[in-house]
Amino acid sequence: MLFKIKNLEYKKSNKTILNNLNFNIEEGKHLLVLGSSGSGKTSLLNLMSGLLKPTNGEIFFKDHEYSSLLEEEIDKIRATNFGFIFQKLHLIGHLNVKQNIDLIKNKNDSKKVENLIHGLGLNQKSEQMVSELSVGEAQRVAIARGLANSPCVIFADEPTSSLDDYNTQKVMELILEQTKQTKSTLIVSTHDKRIKKYFSKITEMSL
């Protein structure tokens, strides 16, 4: 079992965001966390990736329960197992395309960056500063960065919410193609119902 969520509860400023959540995710399977704004889907992603600590309950990743781990150990799990694709991309402004991707890659995987740049059609842009890219190009860089450390889990937060149908399809196909190649698990949080069709397992969240 890749993830095991048991009786998960999360409160913020005395407001319950998540209450008694239970589910499992097997390796290689994808999960769509669907819900409206403020329903707690981003909090769930943050809890599952160890960026937040739950108020109650347990989160197991590969049989490691987060609360039993030191902060550095959770950092290490994120560095070696997780990839992130953020809604606003969060590319680092003072680095170029290649450097943004290179920043995340594992040290022993030097060809990975070149392959990703090539695979995502960014060959001509690799030395360009990210501030000079179009939205589509920047999105591809963000996807490449999310995959650069060959993660077994990819967390994507609202990857398509600001895109039109055509680009939504393109981005989803691109991410799923990459996950197929790396046999990784994709966990997406979104309010965008258009992408439901790409997932067999969907957790719907409500306020």
Partner 1 sequence: MSDLRFVLYSLKYRFLNSFLSIMLTAFGVSIALLISQFGNHIQNRINLDGQGIDIVVGAKGSPLQLILSSVYHIDIPTGNIAYSQAKKIMNNPQIEESIPLALGDNWRGFRIVGTTTNYIRHYDMSLSTGRYWDQNFEVVVGSSVNLNIGDEFMGVHGLLEDGSSHEEHKYDVVGILKPSGTVIDRLILTSLNSVLDIHGLHKVDNSFEKNHEHQHDHEHHKEEHRDVHEHDHDEEKHKSEDENHHKHSKNDKETNETNVLGSSEITALLIKTKSPIENINLPRSINRESSLQAANPALEINRLISLFGIGSKSFAILSLILILIASLNIFSGLASNLENRMGDLAVLRAVGFSKKRIFKIIVLEGILVVLIGILLGILIGFLLFSILTHNIFTLHTTNASLIFNLDFILIILFVFFAGLIAAIFPAYRGSKISIANQLSRTI
CA distance 117 to 115: 6
Token code pair at residue 14:
């005395």
Residues 114-153 interacting with partner 1 (rule: CB under 8 A): 149
Residue in 26, 75, 132, 164 binding partner 1, rule: CB under 8 A: 75
Task: Indicate the residue type of 1.
Answer: M
Residue in 33, 35, 43, 159 binding partner 1, rule: CB under 8 A: 43
Q: Measure the N-to-C terminal CA separation of the chain; round to a whole number of Å.
A: 28
Give the three-class secondary structure for 107.
Answer: coil
Q: Please identify, using beta-carbon distances, which residue of 24 and 99 lies nearer to partner 1.
A: 99
* Site size with partner 1, rule: CB under 8 A: 32
Q: Please identify, using beta-carbon distances, which residue of 86 and 201 lies nearer to partner 1.
A: 86
Residues 81-120 interacting with partner 1 (rule: CB under 8 A): 82-84, 86-88, 90, 92-95, 99, 102-104
Residue in 9, 23, 29, 52 binding partner 1, rule: CB under 8 A: 52
Residue in 51, 69, 176, 202 binding partner 1, rule: CB under 8 A: 51
Q: Please identify, using beta-carbon distances, which residue of 5 and 130 lies nearer to partner 1.
A: 130
Least distance from C-beta 162 to partner 1, angstroms?
Answer: 11
Task: Indicate the residue type of 24.
Answer: N
Token code pair at residue 135:
């939205």
- Residue 11 binding partner 1, by CB under 8 A: no
Least distance from C-beta 146 to partner 1, angstroms?
Answer: 9
Helix (H), strand (E), coil (C) string for 88-129: CCCCCCCCEHHHHHHCCCCCCCHHHHHHHHHHCCCHHHCCCE
How far, rounded to the nearest angstrom, does the alpha carbon of residue 163 sit from its chain's CA centroid? 17
CA distance 197 to 113: 30
Q: Please identify, using beta-carbon distances, which residue of 99 and 128 lies nearer to partner 1.
A: 99
Residue in 28, 38, 64, 79 binding partner 1, rule: CB under 8 A: 79
Q: Please identify, using beta-carbon distances, which residue of 77 and 172 lies nearer to partner 1.
A: 77
Token code pair at residue 2:
């890749």
Closest CA relative to residue 190, chosen from 2, 19, 35, 27: 35
In this structure, are residues 194 and 162 in contact, taking their beta carbons and an 8 Å threshold? no
In this structure, are residues 201 and 23 in contact, taking their beta carbons and an 8 Å threshold? no
Give contact residues for partner 1 (rule: CB under 8 A): 42-43, 46, 49, 51-52, 71-72, 75-80, 82-84, 86-88, 90, 92-95, 99, 102-104, 149, 157-158
